[in-house]
Structure 1
Amino acid sequence: MDDVPVFASSARIQARLHAVSATVFPENNVPRSPPPSPSKDDKRRDGVPADVPNALAGKNMFKFTLIPTKNAGADMSAVPRYVPGFVHRRDIEQRTIDLANEAMKPTPPPSPSAEARPGAELPEPEYLRKLKPGDVELVFLGTGSAVPAKYRNVSGFSMQFGGEGYRGNIMLDTGEGSLAQMIRRFGASAVDEKLREMRMVWISHIHADHHVGLPRILTARAEIFRRDGVEPPIIPVVGPRALRRFLDYYEDLERLHCDFIDLSETTQDKWSSETMSPQVARLRTALMGSDLDEIVAVPVHHCAHAYGAKLVGKRGWTMVYSGDTRPCPSLVAAARDATLLVHEATFENGMEEEAVKKRHSTTKEAVQTGIDAGAYRTILTHFSQRYPKIPIFDGTYTERTAVAFDLMSVDFAGLSSLPKLLPAVRSLFESDDEIAREAQIDGDDDE
């Protein structure tokens, strides 16, 4: 209910990343002015009607002691205190700022000799140069695997479309807490509008860290329409067949106002068929007015009924999202010459045996998929929670690769400069004494 973040460490990281790039790591949803600092003896009655005696307004982390009686009463000592972003940025080293400024300089066209080197820079596509800020934006709501952790929530993405003649948004995977992440990123009132404009939700596979947040998003969407006095319109939910049973069980408790479509009904042959299937027809209708022309399911190597997604934009761009997977030819083929490949990189290099066992990819394998596909840009995500900051890299890094963080915004109009931010981000974390002191989290539960 309050503007002050409860997850103080995560908010601190976001504030510091803002120094690297205000566009990629915005601070849109912050208090306009410092709230009063609470204390144990604070008797303010914020939000309590004047005619209600002897009452206090609850706050995040507020405590009320009953026993022992000598300590009885309100205790607001644990209520988070407002810390302006600039306070978190005071001790950032000048070297990090210099690297961030260097990243903002225009990139010269790649030389012919550089093009022959694996992973070298590629020419910026013509259609990408025509895009304006706000035309196509991908927001990372969660970039960790298995379970939410201190710095990374589990998988979730919001993709928004704008510009002349285009509107709407979609969601790709909705791990637990995805709605809360949207509120942290955009603010509650803006999220209401985004839920009204949502065209579809797409879920890659049945593992909980990719879909548990779905019912809350759908019920919040329905609440908004009902509050406006409107019957909530049905929204397509595309997912693995086991998801239908999950949604049906939830419908016994609360209406979700969704139309389930099996992922297997949205593969490339279904989209290309001369006879349009009812499922594809419903998706095409839902996507009208957005910049998304197709969203094609790509079989990948993870669990049963696991798929990646190929998104085809009307303005020429393509994006491929891997979901969870081992490296596989189907994904390389789908990402051929793609504008953006978003690929999971759960394990660091050297953990290939673990990656094979759990059907995930290492950093090197994810980067190599982008190289093999000739993708213009590759963004790595879905990191094991044993890596609370930036994942471990070696020589497999290329100038076409970037690393995702929670609440990071990727505007396709600025996609060309994204990989150049990595040295500044790396420097930021290397000089962060608070993170350096923390023990790494055991990642045995990666899914």
Structure 2
Amino acid sequence: MELYFLGTGAGMPTTERNVTSIALRMFDERGTFWLFDAGEATQHQILRSPLKPSKLEKIFITHLHGDHIFGLPGLLSSRSHQGGTEPLDIYGPQGVRTFIETALQLSQSHINYELRFHELHEGVIYEDEQCTVESGLLDHRIESYGFRMIEKPRPGKLKVDELMKLGVQPGPMFGKIKQGIDLRLDDGRVIRASDMISEPQPGVIVTILGDTRPCQGSLRLAKDADVLVHEATFMEGLEDLAETYYHSTTKQAAETARDAGVGLLVLTHFSARYSEENPLVEEAKVIFDNTVAAKQHQLVPIRKY
């Protein structure tokens, strides 16, 4: 599981950065990817990436500002021509369905797969055997949400060394142990499967926030997250501007990461006034050391940090 950033800019695209879109790649776990926001030209960014629109399973929209949704109609239309036939779930605030359906209708765009819309609310919005997704309100000029993806515990690992010491060689017998089946050896000894598998491994927690000022909603969604993706539109010293436009500074993002006890802070949504991300990261590191900047077309591994 890993994050792939398709756009890291705020407000409007620049020559250095496209506007917001983040892919959560789950090729090993599900063979698919999820998309968080789809600013203008997201489909162009996907063409320059290892992502395939046919593998897009879900889209989560944080809020309805243009730099987060203007890429939706084109992406959805193109997906039909790029092998996408499976249903696509779209989670977003009230109005996202109207925006998409109006754009597709007026442009006479036809898609050959089902769109399934889910209006956001606070709490659990999706759950299956692999993960749970929660959403929560943030503090922005319009209704804006953050998302918390909680991976369920993964099965424990086979204690290979112990099994081999007992004379059990890799092969079908290993497979039975993995299935939870006890073994009876030729000499009468019984090996209990439960003794040969380690405890389940805790899943990872990933929090991706929409545009926001510092708020309790951010802290709740980010609590103990392994990876937190947080906007850092402005550098320190522009707190008044951030307050006026309902955004966060590098310092405020770092304070949220510190107070929530996260593992890794990934800064994104940078103002066009900054051509380099390093000064923003260095500011944040004063408060929260394990901070990196999101870079377009670069992966951020998701693990226990």
Q: TM-score if structure 1 supplies the norm length? A: 0.53
Answer yes or no: is the 8 Å Cα contact 2:146–2:221 preserved in 1. Answer: no
Corresponding letter in the other structure for 1:235: L
Answer yes or no: is the 8 Å Cα contact 1:151–1:389 preserved in 2. Answer: no
Does residue 300 of the first structure (1) align with residue 138 of the second (2)?
yes
Distance 1:326 1:387 in 2: 19
Answer yes or no: is the 8 Å Cα contact 1:137–1:412 preserved in 2. Answer: yes
Answer yes or no: is the 8 Å Cα contact 2:53–2:83 preserved in 1. Answer: no
Q: Which residue of 2 aligns with 1:385?
A: 272
Does residue 340 of the first structure (1) align with residue 178 of the second (2)?
no
Does residue 150 of the first structure (1) align with residue 15 of the second (2)?
yes
Aligned residue for 1:372, secondary structure, equals helix
Q: Which residue of 2 aligns with 1:406?
A: 296
Distance 1:214 1:251 in 2: 10
Does residue 174 of the first structure (1) align with residue 31 of the second (2)?
no
Instruction: Report the number of matched residues.
Output: 249
Q: How does 1:199-218 map to 2 (within 5 A)?
A: 199-218=57-76
Distance 1:179 1:313 in 2: 27
In terms of fraction of residues, the more strand-rich structure is: 2
Aligned residue for 2:242, secondary structure, equals helix
Aligned residue for 2:82, secondary structure, equals helix
Q: How does 1:181-330 map to 2 (within 5 A)?
A: 181-186=45-50, 191=51, 194-225=52-83, 232-252=85-105, 253-256=108-111, 257-264=114-121, 267-268=122-123, 271=124, 280=125, 283-284=126-127, 291=130, 293-314=131-152, 315=154, 316-330=203-217
Return the offset for 1:349. 0.2
Alpha-carbon displacement from aligned partner over 1:197-256 (angstroms, at most 9, x marks no partner):
221101100000001111122112112237xxxxx3321111111212211212312134
Corresponding letter in the other structure for 2:116: D
Q: How does 1:43-192 map to 2 (within 5 A)?
A: 136-163=1-28, 166-186=30-50, 191=51
Q: CA-atom RMSD, angstroms?
A: 1.9
Distance 2:248 2:229 in 1: 12
One of 352, 363, 381 as aligned partner of 2:239? 352
Corresponding letter in the other structure for 2:143: H
Corresponding letter in the other structure for 1:209: D
Return the offset for 1:401. 1.1
Distance 1:386 1:251 in 2: 34
Return the offset for 1:396. 2.9
Corresponding letter in the other structure for 1:177: A
Corresponding letter in the other structure for 2:142: A
Return the offset for 1:294. 1.9
Distance 1:248 1:162 in 2: 29
Q: How does 1:425-444 map to 2 (within 5 A)?
A: none
Answer yes or no: is the 8 Å Cα contact 2:211–2:247 preserved in 1. Answer: yes
Answer yes or no: is the 8 Å Cα contact 2:26–2:33 preserved in 1. Answer: yes
Q: Which residue of 2 aligns with 1:422?
A: none
Answer yes or no: is the 8 Å Cα contact 2:37–2:61 preserved in 1. Answer: yes
Q: TM-score if structure 2 supplies the norm length? A: 0.76
Distance 2:141 2:96 in 1: 14
Return the offset for 1:162. 3.2
In terms of fraction of residues, the more helix-rich structure is: 1
Distance 1:259 1:178 in 2: 20
Return the offset for 1:172. 0.5
Distance 1:389 1:296 in 2: 33
Return the offset for 1:397. 4.6
Alpha-carbon displacement from aligned partner over 1:129-160 (angstroms, at most 9, x marks no partner):
xxxxxxx0110111110000011111001111
Answer yes or no: is the 8 Å Cα contact 1:150–1:388 preserved in 2. Answer: no
Aligned residue for 1:387, secondary structure, equals coil
Q: Which residue of 2 aligns with 1:77?
A: none
Aligned residue for 2:48, secondary structure, equals helix
Identity among equivalent positions (%) equals 32
Alpha-carbon displacement from aligned partner over 1:62-92 (angstroms, at most 9, x marks no partner):
xxxxxxxxxxxxxxxxxxxxxxxxxxxxxxx
Corresponding letter in the other structure for 2:12: V
Alpha-carbon displacement from aligned partner over 1:364-400 (angstroms, at most 9, x marks no partner):
0000000000001111100101001124343635321
Distance 2:249 2:237 in 1: 8
Alpha-carbon displacement from aligned partner over 1:37-73 (angstroms, at most 9, x marks no partner):
xxxxxxxxxxxxxxxxxxxxxxxxxxxxxxxxxxxxx
Aligned residue for 2:102, secondary structure, equals helix
Answer yes or no: is the 8 Å Cα contact 2:21–2:37 preserved in 1. Answer: yes
